[in-house]
Each structure stands twice: as structure tokens, then as C-alpha cells.
Amino acid sequence: MEPTDPELIAAVLRGDQASFEPLVVRYQPRVFATARRYARREEEVEDVVQEVFVKAFQKLGSYRAEAPFEHWLMRIAVRVCFDFLRRHQRNREMRFTDLSDDESEWLDRLGAKGDASPDASAAKQLVGRLLEQLSPDARLVITLLEIEERSVREIAQMTGWSETLVKVRAFRARAQMRKLLGKMQQEKYL
Amino acid sequence: MKVTELEKRLLAAARADRPSDRVPYAFEKRVMAHIAALPTVDAWALWARSLWRAAIPYAVAVVCLAAWLHFSAEPMAPADQITMDFENAILVAVEDSAIVF
């Protein structure tokens, strides 16, 4: 039988460093999926995931087992991703002329018939570009609230922000996103 | 088209796009190698280093304080004066009770 999380954590805290490896194996797919929401290049994703596990190892002594290990680890993952976004903030403004033919066509179809599929790769690319334009906190809150559909309380626990701050940042993030979309649309139909 | 509608569609597209949870081969080995290479924190070494760093400033402070005390202290009262003060302090209670009775 495989050892449980608390058994492995206790072994690591006793000094058995190797017991951390099964924890990495168990949770790395989840951490990779989270990191891929914020980092685009694969080497950046790998660096983020590595940083998450190294931080988890260093802070393992502060884990109180009040919540499952996975929740504690995901909190670290979200914070590391937020730090990554802050370090790699891209300030370049997106212009309509930057859009690929597919993205432009998807927008046209959506405007003309309203039947553009949300599964289209063009839509995914477009939303990726749009998220890159947002400030780090706006991107984090939009990802957690609108894309991963987490509650305000969950986001507050994951980020360490108060619930009021999450709501304020969500409001500002939506406004920022609409402003960007409005600008893009205006540019397109001018 | 309204911006809110476009926003709704784009967020729906983002929700539909679940990121892959694929893990590169032997990634856990890379993490464990990195952890093994981390410098170990020896609490006793940190404590000893802090003590050594603090030793010189403390020694300087002690010398300064000793010099200041040596040069600024008033001359000691003569032995007779001390004896008198001691006697007064002991007998003050008896003198006070004699007044009451």
C-alpha cells in the first residue's frame, strides 16, 4: 500500500528527504496544469513548477494539516504563479493588426452571426493574448474567478488577499478587460 | 457586437481550454536534485556566527562603560559616615514609635 500524505510529510520532517519524491510525483500533474495557465513557454512552466515544490519543501514545517496537503500546495502554486506574472509583466499593448488571420476571422464570425465556437483554437489564442495584456493581479483574479470558476472565499484563501480585496480586484479586472476589448473592437471597425 | 458579449464568448473559450497536465519525463528527479543541492541551514552555525559578530561591539561597549564609570563616579563616603547612615536607618523606626507613645 502506498504511504499517505501525512505519513510522507512526517518522514520528510524527520529528515528523510527522499520521502518528498512521492509527493512530487503525486501532485505534479495538478501543479503543471496550474502553471500552464500563467506561463506560456514550456521552460517557464517547468521553472515555475520546480519553484513551487522547492518552496513547499522548505516550508513543510509550517504545514499544519488543518487542510489537505493538496490545498496547501495549490496555495503555494498560486502565489508562485502570481510572483512569476509580476516578474514577467508584458507591457506591450495589443493592436488589432497583431491579430492572426484566424483570430480576426473568428471575431468577424462572432460579430456577423454570433455563432463562433468557443472551442475554436483562434478563440483560445485570442483570450491568451488578452490575458497577457492584463496586470498580474487582474489576470490572476480573472483566471481564478471566471475561468477556473472558484469562489471569492477560495480565492481569498489561495492568494492571502481579503475577500473585499478579491471583489475589488475582480471588479477592476473586468473593467480592464472590457476596456481592452472595446479598444480592440474600435480599432477593428474604424 | 457588444463588448460584454465578446467578453462572455472569450471567457467561455478560456474555460473550454483546459491546460494540459502532462509532466515531462522524470521531472521529479530534477526537483529532488535541486532540493538536494539546496544549502542546509545549520541553526548552531548561525547562532555561533551571530555571537562572533556581536562579540567585538559588546567588548567595546563594556570598555567604554567601565571607563565612564571609573572617571565619573563620586568619591566614596568615609566609613564613619556609612556607619552613621546605617544606624540612623535602623533606629528611625524606634525613634518614630517613641514620639507616638
Query: Which residue from B minimizes the CA distance to A177?
Result: B7
Mean pLDDT (whole number) for A82-102? 75
**Which domains are assigned to chain A?**
5-87 (1.10.1740.10), 96-188 (1.10.10.10)
CB atoms within 10 A of CB A154: 16
pLDDT in tens, A105-117: 777 776 666 565 6
Residues of A in Cβ contact (< 8 Å) with B1 = 110-111, 114, 185
pLDDT in tens, B27-80: 999 999 999 988 776 778 888 888 888 998 999 999 999 988 888 876 666 677
Q: What is the ipTM of this complex?
A: 0.79
Q: Phi and psi at residue A81, in whole multiples of 5°?
A: -65, -40
Residues of A in Cβ contact (< 8 Å) with B16 = 118-119, 124
Closest-CA distance of chain A to residue B48, Å: 23
Q: What is the 3-state secondary structure (H, E, C) of B30-76?
A: HHHHHHHCCCCCCHHHHHHHHHHHHHHHHHHHHHHHHHHHHHHCCCC
Cβ of B20 within 8 Å of Cβ of A147? The answer is no
Query: Which residue from B minimizes the CA distance to A122?
Result: B13
Q: Which has the closest alpha carbon to A130: B16, B14, B1? A: B14
The reported pTM is 0.72
Closest-CA distance of chain A to residue B33, Å: 10
The rounded distance, in Å, linking the Cα atoms of A186 and A172 is 21
pLDDT in tens, A151-189: 999 999 999 999 999 999 999 999 998 998 888 777 765
Q: Which of A28, A60, A184, A187 to mutate to test the interface with B (most CBs of B within 10 A)?
A: A28
Task: Please say whether the beta carbons of A17 and B35 come within 8 A.
Answer: yes
How far are the Cα atoms of A60, A67, A122, B73, B82 from residue A53, in angstroms, in the given order?
A: 10, 18, 33, 62, 72
Task: Determine whether A158 is exposed, middle or buried from the number of CB atoms within 10 Å of its CB (0-12, 13-18, 19+).
Answer: buried
The rounded distance, in Å, linking the Cα atoms of A9 and A104 is 51
Q: Where are the domains of chain B?
A: 3-37
Q: Which of B8, B9, B25 to mutate to test the interface with A (most CBs of A within 10 A)?
A: B9
